[in-house]
Amino acid sequence: MTGDEILRAQSATRRFGDFTAVDAVTMAVRPGEVVGLLGANGAGKTTLIRLLLGLLAPTEGAVELLGGPPDRAHRARMGYVPQNLGLYRDLTVAENLSFSAGAYDTAVPEIPVTLHDFRDTLVGDLALGAQRQAAFVVALAHEPEVLVLDEPTSGVDALSRAELWDTIRGQADRGVGVLVTTHYMEEAQQCDRLLLMAGGRLVASGSENDIIGDTRAVAVHTADWAHTFAVLNAADIPVILDGTAIRVPDTEPATITSALSDAGVDAEITPVAATIEERMLVLARSR
């Protein structure tokens, strides 16, 4: 660990009874970088974030925020957009911004042009995209040094996601360190560095190419994709369905051909480059 790390965990572990949600995770975020935290549901991402924010205490290990404990004073220098957005649904957009400004003892932020028509609308009555825009305005109003975003673009359209990512990159450009979770693999490509969790542990880190490494995959071309998927899944072969396209990572083509042949499935198999989603599946299965 170095002195310029503004968000860090050192062998951080969190247990709930006999269940270990986060297991000896060491990671860090530095000023001006966007770090993507990836993993399937239940991988431990949100629990790790709650540890980093001081909302949970680690069972073992330590966490630091801006060089100190994640207490109220240090949290005042960070911005946070949780999965549930952290807005008061029974207050208007303007009232939410005013309340947040008072909590941080800062000026009430200017409402973006895209939200002008909704300033007096209850947040609970807004479309999800507008709610997420408002949550970003609240999180950034006090000019935080660290920004933590837990699936900030989930459920919004492609254009809204692109606009929110423009905001994220803009914050990094002014020196803010950003930790963001996402289920969209195209968003992961916009991160400077990736952290991959599975089963509560940090199982890979680095660039997309670093994480994919030498993992290979094959595409399975067949007329009956549903039956083919069921056959491979029943054979305990790691299979991913992308629309109606079937892909299998980290498996010898002969193994796939044998399973399909035994089931009477006619298919063509083509080697393809693996994706980070496929590498995530391989790592999760190895836990």
Specify the DSSP class assigned to residue 117: G
Query: How many Å apart are CA 268 and CA 107, to the nearest integer?
Result: 62
pLDDT attached to residue 2: 46
Predicted confidence (pLDDT) at residue 36 exceeds the cutoff of 50: yes
Q: What DSSP element (H or E) covers 146? A: strand 146-150
Residue 185 has pLDDT above 50, yes or no: yes
Element (H, E) at 139: helix 128-140
Other Cβ atoms less than 10 A from the Cβ of 219: the count is 15
Reported as a single tens digit per residue, the pLDDT across 266-279 is: 889 999 988 888 88
What CATH code is assigned to 213-285? 3.30.70
Outline which parts of the chain fall under CATH 3.30.70: 213-285
CA distance 62 to 20: 16
* Neighbouring residues of 166: CB distance < 8 A, sequence distance ≥ 6: none
pLDDT > 90: what percent of the chain? 47
Give the predicted TM-score (pTM) of the model: 0.83
More confident residue, 59 or 161: 59
pLDDT tens, residue by residue, 158-181: 887 888 889 899 999 999 999 999
Closest CA to 136 of 155, 152, 120, 122: 152
Q: What are phi and psi of 221, to 5 degrees?
A: -105, 120
Residue 62 scores a pLDDT above 50: yes
Start and end residues for every CATH 3.40.50.300 domain found in the chain: 7-211
How high does pLDDT run on average in the chain? 89
CATH fold of 7-211: Rossmann fold (3.40.50)
φ/ψ of residue 231, rounded to 5:
-65, -50
According to the model, what pLDDT value does residue 287 have? 67
Q: What is the DSSP string of 163-199?
A: HHHHHHHHHHHTT-EEEEE-S-HHHHTTSSEEEEEET
pLDDT tens across 76-118, in order?
899 998 878 888 899 998 998 898 888 888 888 788 888 888 8
Q: 247, exposed or middle or buried, with CB in 10 Å at 0-12, 13-18, 19+? A: buried
